[in-house]
Structures are given as structure tokens and as C-alpha cells.
């Protein structure tokens, strides 16, 4: 079985993330979306909430699973028999960072490959940070996040006092 892992913070999942998930799920037998902890970011949703939001969003894809992990991505992958990391790229600046991380992952486990998927052009501007900022100001989120989770994002922004 050809297994890939799409790691990220997904705080929250965006339509850009969902586009990468849809495309990667069409290529691999199994895609695991892994919510990772990023110590450099102040998350809006805790990992369990993010897993729930993503599961509701990807329910239509039978070969997509969602998990969370605090381990190194290569250790997470080893435990699941995965050999490919999926990374979406919006701009050249994403490539610089992701290329460095890919080299580190390869150094940790040379059997791991990283597949870079360019973002669909209509999502190149989109990030979870943009979503949180737009939600903070009450913008219409229909072009930013999957419809299944818009209310969750707005309620969380409100309850956390981000608005």
C-alpha cells in the first residue's frame, strides 16, 4: 500500500489545504493528514479540535485518515509505514523553508521522500493566519475555509476573545 502523510498545523484547515488533500488522495492509496504541534505558533484550536474539524471536512474521501502527533514526522511515518511526505507550496518563500525541512527529514531517514505540490493558483494567498485575521474582523469565510467548519471558526474566535 502506498501511504503518504500530509503534516501541518491546520489551525484551521483552509480550502487550500483541502485542495492539496483532494489531489494527494487521488495519487496515494492512503493519505494521513497529521496535525502537528508547532511551538512557534499560538494556536486557536487545540490538536483534538483540529482533528475533528479536518475529519468533518474530509469525510468524503474514503482513503484519508486524520491523526495528531507531537513526534518527529519521520517517526510518525515509520510507525505507519508511510514513505512520502506531502507539502503544499504557495510561493517561493514556502519552498525555501520546506526544502530545508525536507533535507533534515531525509537526513533523519533516507527512505523518506518529500513531494512538493504547488497550490492551486486561486489559493496562493491563503493561509490559516489569513483565515484567523479575516474571522477576527467578521469577514465572510466562504472563500477561505470549508463550509462544514465556518461556524466553528467564528465561534472559536469569539469565545477566545480574538474579536
Which position among 68, 69, 119, 128 bears the catalytic label?
Answer: 128
Instruction: Give catalytic status of residue 128 as yes or no.
Output: yes
What grid cell was written down for 25? 488522495
Which position among 80, 90, 106, 136 bears the catalytic label?
Answer: 90
Order of strands, sheet of 113-118, starting from the edge strand that comes earlier in the sequence:
64-69, 30-36, 3-8, 84-89, 113-118
Instruction: Give catalytic status of residue 41 as yes or no.
Output: yes
Which position among 17, 50, 132, 156 bears the catalytic label?
Answer: 17
Which position among 41, 107, 155, 163 bears the catalytic label?
Answer: 41
User: Which of these, 95, 157, 158, 161, lies nearest to 131 by C-alpha position?
Assistant: 157
Assess contact for 58 and 18: CB atoms under 8 A.
Answer: yes
Active site residues: 17, 41, 90, 128
Amino acid at each position: 500500500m502506498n501511504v503518504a502523510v500530509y503534516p501541518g498545523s491546520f489551525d484551521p484547515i483552509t480550502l487550500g489545504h483541502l485542495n492539496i488533500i483532494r489531489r494527494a488522495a487521488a495519487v496515494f492509496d492512503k493519505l494521513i493528514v497529521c496535525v502537528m504541534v508547532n511551538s512557534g505558533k499560538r494556536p486557536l484550536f487545540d490538536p483534538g479540535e483540529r482533528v475533528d474539524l479536518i475529519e468533518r471536512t474530509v469525510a468524503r474521501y474514503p482513503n484519508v485518515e486524520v491523526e495528531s502527533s507531537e513526534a518527529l514526522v519521520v517517526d510518525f511515518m515509520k510507525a505507519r509505514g508511510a514513505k512520502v511526505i506531502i507539502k503544499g507550496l504557495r510561493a517561493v518563500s514556502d519552498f525555501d523553508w520546506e526544502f530545508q525541512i525536507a533535507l533534515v527529514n531525509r537526513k533523519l531517514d533516507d527512505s523518506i521522500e518529500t513531494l512538493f505540490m504547488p497550490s492551486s493558483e486561486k489559493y496562493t494567498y491563503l493561509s490559516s493566519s489569513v483565515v484567523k485575521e479575516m474571522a477576527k474582523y467578521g469577514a465572510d469565510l466562504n472563500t477561505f475555509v470549508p463550509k462544514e467548519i465556518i461556524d466553528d471558526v467564528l465561534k472559536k474566535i469569539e469565545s477566545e476573545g480574538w474579536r
